[in-house]
Amino acid sequence: MADFKVTELAENLDFEGLAYWDVVIIGAGPAGLAASLTTAHRGLTTLVIEAKDQPGGQPQFLYADKKIVDIPGFPDGISGEELSARTYRQAVDALVQFRFNEELVTIEDTEQQEKEDLLKRVVTKNGEYLCRKVIIACGLLHFPRRLPVLDALQSKSVFYKVPKIGDYTGRQVVVIGGGDSAFDAAVMALERHGKVDVVVREATPVAKSDSVERVRESGGKVHCSTEVTEAKYQDGEIALQLSDDSQLQADYVIVQVGFLSAKETFQRLDVRLNDDGSLAVDPYFETSRRGIFAVGDVHGDIKLITVAWAEGIQAAIYAFKEITSPYWLNEKRLRDQKIAMIGDKITQAARGKPLR
């Protein structure tokens, strides 16, 4: 079905003076950016809230320099940074508005009504925003897990994402973590002529075996069943004391030990959760609270950029149609339920069971 009532946003629109937003999107990763493009291109005032200081989500944060090779249209691959920059530029050109360094606290119902919608109030640590629809696209995983023993150094040489350093020649790099992101970071440092040690807490790395072998074959050293117990400055370098009583010297330390779950934030939203803490959604990506949709890693089993794009676009169109055609989604649900009931009756009849 073609979209209808589509209007372009005026370039001179006073976004700061809006009484409410049509759509507020939580998260500026692939799903959130795709959703924002879709709503803005359909004439909806759209605000994206992002907890970090820049857009892009995991492609930007986890593998900014790594080539992503499974996205159609980029036969030579594209880096996470370039992909994020391109999509963000599209959103800005579509007059999507952004607020960075704003972490979601909760989403409240209000008594204020606009046409057929009771407005929602999106509350962040920095402000509040009224809107008609909310699309949650912040991912199931929030901020990177940190290591207090390293944070105490307050060093600019300790990174929780792969740093943009062009040449590691002669530099000693310690990567902490046993997963794919840790070993990807180690490979990148080795390719840039760094000397790399990987510190893995587990007895065996959980990263892909070919990645582990690639690190070892390239001259990297892997220390298993080991943790950092102490960190200090020594002769201009970071000195790391390990739990096996050995020591490492580092010019740079890259920490890749996973992310904290957003489950606590989701519990505050009073929506139904799946057993793994992800958001439960219906076939239209709407949560158990009407007017709040969820897309991407926040609920999905298939964690791919292209899937996040597709879900963001679909949820945005459902939100658009709810706004422009009140009760549209409810009517579609009723129709789908009737079709499902007819299908059940046909199946029962084919099995020779009495119809109820």
| Torsion of the alpha carbons at 224, 225, 226 and 227, rounded to the nearest 10 | 120
Query: Which residue ranges make up each domain of the chain?
Result: 15-143+260-325, 148-257
- Residue 314: which pLDDT band, with cuts at 50, 70 and 90? very high
pLDDT of 207 higher than 60: yes
Kindly report the CATH class assigned to 148-257.
alpha beta
Total H helices, total E strands in the chain: 9, 19
Alpha-carbon gap, residue 178 to 335, rounded angstroms: 49
The partner residues of 129 in beta bridges, in order of sequence, read 122
Name 48's Cβ contacts closer than 8 Å, sequence gap at least 6: 24, 25, 26, 27, 28, 32, 33, 36, 55, 91, 96, 97, 98, 99
pLDDT of 1 higher than 50: no
The sign of the dihedral angle between the CA atoms of 188, 190, 192, 194 is: positive
CATH fold for domain 15-143+260-325? FAD/NAD(P)-binding domain (3.50.50)
Give residue 61's pLDDT: 78
- Our CA angle for 69, 73, 74, nearest 5°, is 40
Q: Do domains 15-143+260-325 and 148-257 have the same CATH topology?
A: yes
CB-side neighbour CA atoms (13 Å) of 340? 6
- Our CA angle for 183, 203, 152, nearest 5°, is 65
* Average pLDDT score over residue span 58-69: 79
Output b/e per residue, 76-105; b: 16+ Cβ within 10 A. Answer: eebbbbbbbbebbebbeebbbbbbeebbbe
Contact 140, 259 (CB under 8 A): no
| Displacement of CA 93 from its chain's centroid (Å) | 22
- Residue 345: which pLDDT band, with cuts at 50, 70 and 90? low
Alpha-carbon gap, residue 64 to 162, rounded angstroms: 8
pLDDT of 355 higher than 70: no
Give residue 164's pLDDT: 76
| Torsion of the alpha carbons at 181, 184, 189 and 190, rounded to the nearest 10 | 150
